[in-house]
């Protein structure tokens, strides 16, 4: 398996103990590569009749899914194998399974913060 730090995505794969730092690091990577809109569902899938826009969105979705796959490893990502899956769905599912006591937020500019939920 490749060293993920060498790929520049996250320093270590997602585990039960590192969700918040993993999420913040991956979110910054996605923002920096213009993919956050797809993951955060700010960019929704265009109608397939608009071929250019749909292909552009499809490419961003695939790139975001690939980054998520590389950063969480096969064991976790294999639960999301589906040709038509969206990056925002995977991100949301991982967040729901992550740390339920803390929530990490990334704004449109890539600034992240951790909120403790009561």
Among candidate residues 116, 74, 111, 113, the one with its CA nearest the CA of residue 99: 116
Residue matched to tokens 């006591």: 101
Per-residue pLDDT at 3: 43
Per-residue pLDDT at 15: 82
Per-residue pLDDT at 7: 61
> What is the average per-residue pLDDT within 27-55?
95
Kindly give the pairing relationship between strand 102-106 and strand 112-116.
antiparallel
Decide if 70 contacts 30 (C-beta within 8 A): no
Chain center to CA of 112? 14
Decide if 30 contacts 40 (C-beta within 8 A): no
* Global confidence as pTM: 0.74
Least confident among 26-40, 44-58, 104-118? 104-118
Tens of pLDDT, residues 86-104: 999 999 999 888 755 445 5
């Amino acid at each position: 398996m490749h060293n993920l730090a060498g790929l520049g995505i996250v320093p270590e794969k997602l585990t039960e103990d590192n969700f918040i730092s993993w999420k913040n690091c991956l979110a910054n990577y996605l923002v920096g590569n213009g993919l956050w809109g797809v993951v955060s569902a700010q960019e929704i899938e265009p109608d397939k009749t608009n071929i250019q826009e749909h292909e552009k969105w499809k490419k961003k979705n695939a790139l975001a899914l690939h980054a998520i796959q590389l950063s969480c490893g096969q064991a976790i990502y294999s639960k999301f194998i589906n040709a038509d899956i969206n990056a925002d769905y995977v991100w949301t599912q991982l967040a729901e399974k992550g740390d339920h006591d803390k929530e990490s937020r990334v704004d449109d500019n890539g600034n992240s913060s951790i909120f403790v939920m009561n």
